[in-house]
Amino acid sequence: MPDTDKKTILVVDDDREIVRAISITLEREGYSVLKAYDGLEALDCVTSRDIHLIIIDVMMPRLDGLSAVMKIREKKNLPIIILSAKGEDSDKIIGLSMGADDYIAKPFNPMELVARVKSQLRRYTSLGDINTRSDDCIVNGRLTFRLDEHVLYADGEPVKLTATETKIVELLMKHPGRIFPAEEIYSLIWNEPAYSAENTVMVHIRRIREKIEINPSEPEYLKVVWGLGYEIEKH
């Protein structure tokens, strides 16, 4: 049996046959499974039980999956995989922007689901919980910066950054919530006095934002604090 340390997974779908099928698949992999059939039941489980990951459908009675995800995110930091018959990119973007970590469209391959579950649990357990650091990585919400690789990952996927962009991201990821003036960023990254630093830094920040934010015009992470500077916000 796989070494899962008996992690508990909550499966939420109003289709009881789907819940049953997913539960059988996960239990074969050594996971404990809790079941809920709408968003309100899911919220009750999250507040009363120790849960390590949630698989949740979008279209459900009483409280839909996306609304449930938003409410769960207010209280808990744990991996959430959205399950939906809708495979449209817009639904995926909405789900991820509301706090989900991954998205699988129905019908799905059970082994793909298991692989995604294992991947998300690895991110949240071996890499550490939100806003935590290990010797070789920094994790902040859906962003992970690997110090050993000098690579930023967003939602588990490597982000293609230039060398300068990577240095800026590393600086900000190492100090989440700290506001860096453009002049300080410039002097630290370019290693020279900051003459007309604002425009140069701003261009790089904009490019990074386009690569890491789901909606760059309404950034969740890389933010400008007007009159003060830039920060990676804690999540």
Amino acid 1: pLDDT: 46
2 is a domain residue: no
Report d(CA 26, CA 11) in Å as an integer.
Answer: 10
Domain stop point among 97, 125, 153: 125
Q: Are residues 118 and 18 in the same domain?
A: yes
Q: Are residues 105 and 209 in the same domain?
A: no
Q: Does an H or E element contain 232, and which?
A: strand 229-232
Q: Are residues 49 and 117 in the same domain?
A: yes
Domain count of the fold of the chain? 2
- Please state whether the predicted TM-score (pTM) of the whole model is above 0.85: no
Amino acid 229: pLDDT: 92
Domain stop point among 66, 91, 125: 125
Amino acid 86: pLDDT: 63
Q: Are residues 90 and 55 in the same domain?
A: yes
Q: Report the CATH number that the domain containing residue 157 is assigned in CATH.
A: 1.10.10.10
Q: Are residues 186 and 84 in the same domain?
A: no
Amino acid 88: pLDDT: 60
Q: Are residues 87 and 27 in the same domain?
A: yes
* Long-range pairs of 155-161 with CB within 8 A, sequence gap ≥ 24: 155/96, 155/101, 155/102, 156/102, 156/119, 156/120, 156/123, 159/211, 159/212, 160/211, 161/208, 161/211
Q: Are residues 14 and 121 in the same domain?
A: yes
Report d(CA 155, CA 153) in Å as an integer.
Answer: 6
Residue ranges, the chain, pLDDT below 70: 1-5, 86-92, 123, 125-135, 194
Question: What residues make up the domain containing 118?
Answer: 8-125
Amino acid 5: pLDDT: 65
Amino acid 61: pLDDT: 86
Structure token pair of residue 43: 């919220």
147 is a domain residue: yes
Amino acid 128: pLDDT: 46
Amino acid 103: pLDDT: 82
Q: Are residues 92 and 169 in the same domain?
A: no
216 is a domain residue: yes
Amino acid 127: pLDDT: 46
